[in-house]
Amino acid sequence: MKRILFLLFVVAQCASLAQGKFKVDFDYSKFHYDNANNYLEIYYSFFQPDLTVLRNENSEKIIKGVLNVIIIDQAADTAVVNKNYQFSNVLTSSDSASGRSLTGNLGFLLPHGKYSVYLAGVDGHDSTRIDSVNFNLEIKNFSDDRFAVSDIELASSIQESQNTNSLFYKNTFEVVPNPSSIYGEPLPVIYFYSELYDIDKNIASPLLKIEHILLNSQNEPFFRKTKMIGRKSSSVVEVGAINITKAPSGTYLLVVAVSDSLLNQTVYSTKRLFIYNPSILDTSVNVMIDQDVMSSEFAAMSEEELEEAFSASRYVATSQELDQWSKISDLSGRRSFLFNFWKARDNDPGTPVNETKRDYFSRVDKANLQFGTMQKKGWKTDRGRVFITYGEPSEIERYPNQVDTKPYEIWQYNQLEGGVIFIFADITGFSDYLLVHSTHRSELRDDNWQRKIATY
């Protein structure tokens, strides 16, 4: 299995810090197919300005992208899917100006079982620029002698359609996915799609109650809608739309709940998303939010300090967040953005301390102390980036005074992808150790790295 992952996912030279982080958004949903299989949909979105633009023989501006997909059956330890998908697009002046994303979806029929999924998006004109994600997935029967609800697909738009040739056509609807899971001023309506199964079996109530609920980070409902449906069919499509133009920025949880009131049974599906509305003042929570922002470390920061703080946060930012930050010019807006940026990443919002932010900037501070040079701060170096992104290495081998090589270090991470290494070398002689090789899927790979550091 490691050989399969190695060959398919490591592109010759992956993104280095000097080239900037290349971001691709991914998401997925599972739907019932039959008693032995589920239908897995994978959604992807390339942020168009991130892709390298080249001109063809007709002087047209062309962008290209490649999506690599590997799905591993954990029980058999074999790849059931290993495919590359390629696309290209001719840019118009409106495309370039809008900064829109190139979005698509893929579908796979998978038997019940446990899987590991690996996705990588690559710039088709520059294979050194890549972004990837991996996750474990369990495919199981949605229906267990009672009604069930599928995963929720977040969408940027949903409309009735008869165009069965559309890439996004699904059960009389055209559903354009939103893999970023970000809504707000550019996308003021949350559209979502789900499916209900076996609503005609083992149910006591003549009508089922369907609820659409949007919960804020305090687990309070910002939106709730209830309706009743009959049981004429075994399966139905459930779509919804929530206007969030008045929702304050933050992390939200979307819930689709289905209930049989007589049997007191409820099944539900959830999806986490982020809303960014910097201009919204919600009178019910605004005072608390303002107090939180003003009591945070961002309140006392100057414009330069705010820029530095967000620049150091870029390793965990989405392409949409990078774009949004560049459009905010006032100090209060930037302070609120940074506050909400890290609030959305708080894994335990019930505690007074944002542990995620604290740990991240603790690594930034350590990187500045350990890896800084005369020319740059430690977080800007390759070693600093890797340390901030992946944490403390399991082991470090240092070779500062070799006769036939320049100084270099080998960092081992036992907890990542079954064990990976990063090799850094002082190529320039100014103690700025550059990443010359890694076995991590999303990092620079060069099997001939020894040649780069040889002194003979």
Q: Looking at residue 6, what is its pLDDT?
A: 33
Task: Report the C-alpha gap between 122 and 9 in whole angstroms.
Answer: 10
State both tokens at 300: 């006392």
Residue 403 has pLDDT above 90, yes or no: no
Q: Looking at residue 331, what is its pLDDT?
A: 86
Task: Report the C-alpha gap between 438 and 443 in whole angstroms.
Answer: 6
Residue 93 has pLDDT above 80, yes or no: no
Average pLDDT over residues 160-189: 92
Do 1-140 and 142-280 share a fold? Answer: yes
Q: Looking at residue 20, what is its pLDDT?
A: 46
Using pLDDT thresholds of 50, 70 and 90, give the confidence band for residue 348: confident
Q: Looking at residue 152, what is its pLDDT?
A: 97
pLDDT, one tens digit per residue, over 13-44 is 333 333 345 788 999 999 999 989 999 999 99
Highest mean pLDDT of the ranges 6-15, 25-34, 127-136, 230-239: 25-34
* Mean per-residue pLDDT over the chain, rounded: 85
Q: Looking at residue 9, what is its pLDDT?
A: 34
Parse the chain into domains and list their residue ranges: 1-140, 142-280, 286-453
Using pLDDT thresholds of 50, 70 and 90, give the confidence band for residue 170: very high
Residue type (1 letter), 299? A
Helix crossing, 303-313 with 331-343: angle to 10°?
Answer: 30
Using pLDDT thresholds of 50, 70 and 90, give the confidence band for residue 294: low
Residue 295 has pLDDT above 90, yes or no: no
pLDDT, one tens digit per residue, over 355-377 is 888 889 989 989 998 898 888 89
pLDDT, one tens digit per residue, over 311-340 is 999 998 888 888 889 888 888 888 888 888
Task: Report the C-alpha gap between 39 and 197 in whole angstroms.
Answer: 14
Residue 5 has pLDDT above 50, yes or no: no
Using pLDDT thresholds of 50, 70 and 90, give the confidence band for residue 8: very low
> In CATH, what is the architecture of 1-140?
Sandwich (2.60)
C-alpha angle 149/153/155, rounded to 5°? Answer: 145
- What is the CATH number assigned to the segment(s) 142-280? 2.60.40.2550
Percent of the chain past pLDDT 70, that is, above it, reads 90
pLDDT, one tens digit per residue, over 149-158 is 999 999 999 9
Residue 96 has pLDDT above 70, yes or no: no
